[in-house]
Amino acid sequence: MSDRARSDAPAPQRRARREALAMLPMYDLPELREATDAWWQGLAGHLAAAGLSGLPEALTRSGRAQAADDPASALADPALLLGQTCGYPLTHALSGQVAYLGTPRYAAPGCAGSDYRSFVVVRADEPATTPAGLRGRRAAVNGWDSQSGMNALRALVAPHAVGGRFFAQVATSGSHRRSIAMVREGQADVAAIDCVTLELLRRVDPGALEGVEARFETASAPALPYVTRRGIEPGLLAALRAGLTAALTDPQLAPVRGQLLLAGMDFDRAADYAVITDMERSAEMYGYLALA
């Protein structure tokens, strides 16, 4: 019998809720799903060693709460044990709906500690040499609730907006990968792409970046946080963080962490996500309320 199924489980305050959910959708590229699954299996072992029981056998990707199609909505499920979200939903739609666990550190160009930023991707023949030079271009955004694809880009170009507008057109793509494809294929001219996604694509699908280049960069913000359900018991929260710390330093998990660019985690940055709403307010001060 596995440690996760033992009947002599530790104190009740450290038990995961029945039918607990674990979701790690943010960097779950098809080429990396095996690595993401391996990360969860290794992490689950350390969570069990930290005193958790009733852990999910596998990550939730679809079905319940439409996790694959609407990660933010799925993460509000009261059965959530561990998940990852974008910082913008954390400060907006998920505010009060989830509890902060920690901020990952990623080994990718554009990251500094547990901060990350976006790079503004354009076709190689784009003549603009400053962000202001992109006025009148067509933008692709992965989603309206994206810090890296929408909010950071809005803050970057807001000082150059005229009459509340900057781009000639803004289209939603549904993913950073698709935004890059739209730029490459001429369906859009510009997109802001999370620097971790860019580095992952360089490794697993370099062809996706042919014909485009990262021309500009946005301001930084704390990286995509790990979260758990709201109202979590202090003992359970401590056990989750202990398990994460152990998994992030386990030598046997180093190859998987390397594939996912995971370099560590900070657990004290919940208040730092206010920079996301600061970016939003800054754009509003320029009269640039929406990316347009």
Torsion of Cα atoms, 292 then 211 then 68 then 96, to 10°: -50
Helix (H, G, I), strand (E, B) or coil at 125: coil
Render pLDDT for 71-90 as a digit per residue (tens, 0 to 9). Answer: 677 899 999 999 999 999 99
Q: What is the pLDDT of residue 273?
A: 98
Please give the structure tokens belonging to residue 112: 């500094």
Domain assignment present for residue 291? The answer is no
- Check if the beta carbon of residue 91 is closer than 8 Å to that of residue 48: no
Helix extents (H) in the chain: 33-49, 71-75, 87-91, 152-157, 176-184, 195-204, 234-247, 254-260, 274-285
Q: Which of 286, 263, 229, 216 is nearest to 97 (CA)?
A: 229
Number of C-beta neighbours around residue 286 at 10 A: 17
Domain assignment present for residue 287? The answer is no
12 and 137: one domain?
A: no
Domain assignment present for residue 264? The answer is yes
215 and 123: one domain?
A: yes
Domain assignment present for residue 292? The answer is no
Look at residues 175, 205, 221 and tell me which one is the last residue of a structural domain.
Answer: 221
119 and 215: one domain?
A: yes
Q: How many domains does the chain have?
A: 2
Render pLDDT for 42-78 as a digit per residue (tens, 0 to 9). Answer: 999 999 999 999 999 999 996 443 344 566 778 999 9
102 and 232: one domain?
A: yes
Please give the structure tokens belonging to residue 160: 């150059």
Number of C-beta neighbours around residue 226 at 10 A: 22
99 and 227: one domain?
A: yes
130 and 145: one domain?
A: yes
Render pLDDT for 155-169 as a digit per residue (tens, 0 to 9). Answer: 999 999 999 999 999
Question: Residue 173's domain is classified under what CATH number?
Answer: 3.40.190.10
- Check if the beta carbon of residue 75 is closer than 8 Å to that of residue 227: yes
Domain assignment present for residue 139? The answer is yes
126 and 254: one domain?
A: no
Give me the domain span that covers residue 228. 3-106+222-277
Model-wide pTM > 0.75: yes
Write the CA distances from 23 to 12, 71, 80, 162, integer angstroms.
Answer: 23, 8, 8, 41
